[in-house]
């Protein structure tokens, strides 16, 4: 324990899966976390579980990462409750199976909105808060699909490719 003691993290898509695992790991290493997701029931459940073992370590806020106004509200609430922000984990994502021929434009746009635009909005709004807190880290969850281009995950691969490119640009 202690690798991130005193740090504050915001994790999107954190109610289940990798985001949930990230929240548990960060709390176990001493961070306080804000769990966000569209899945309110599982997000509240995880926050309660984390607080039972590490009192005051977590809280949940509902968030659709496609909503820019909500990003401002969430980051404002995190900094109000915990006094700053040091880590953003852009984890929210979706997967709809479809090839170039079977993916609808609506499905393609949804992947881009959740993952590409969600990561963009997260970086855009978290960077000032992280800078004001003395610096920190942004972790954007991409995928090997961004390199290998799986045909049955056509829209997902495209969105994760955008995440990979934005991550490089943000780091520079």
154 is known as an active-site residue: no
In the numeric block, which tokens belong to residue 127?
A: 């960077």
Side-chain-side CA neighbours of 25 within 13 Å: the count stands at 9
Are 138 and 91 in contact by the 8 Å Cβ rule? The answer is: no
Return the residue matching tokens 């929210």: 92
Of 82, 150, 154, 156, which residue is the catalytic one?
156
Helices (H), the chain: 17-28, 40-53, 68-82, 105-111, 118-132, 145-148, 154-171
Quickly list DSSP for 56-72.
TSEEEEE--TT-HHHHH
Q: How far is CA 167 from CA 14, 90, 91, 92, in A?
A: 20, 10, 13, 15
Active site amino acids: 156
């Amino acid at each position: 324990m202690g690798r991130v003691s005193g740090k504050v993290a915001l994790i999107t898509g954190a109610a289940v899966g990798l985001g949930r695992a990230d929240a548990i790991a960060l709390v176990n290493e001493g961070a306080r976390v804000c769990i966000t997701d569209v899945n309110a029931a599982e997000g509240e459940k995880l926050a309660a579980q984390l607080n039972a073992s590490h009192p005051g370590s977590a809280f949940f806020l509902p968030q659709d990462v496609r909503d820019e106004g909500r990003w401002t509200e969430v980051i404002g609430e995190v900094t109000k409750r915990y006094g700053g922000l040091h880590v953003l984990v852009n984890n929210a994502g979706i997967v709809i199976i479809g090839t170039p021929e079977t993916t609808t434009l609506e499905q393609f746009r949804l992947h881009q909105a959740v993952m590409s635009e969600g990561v963009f909005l997260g970086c855009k709004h978290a960077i000032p808060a992280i800078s004001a807190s003395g610096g920190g880290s942004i972790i954007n969850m991409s995928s090997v699909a961004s390199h290998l281009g799986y045909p049955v995950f056509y829209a997902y691969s495209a969105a994760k490719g955008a995440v990979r490119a934005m991550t490089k640009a943000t780091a520079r």
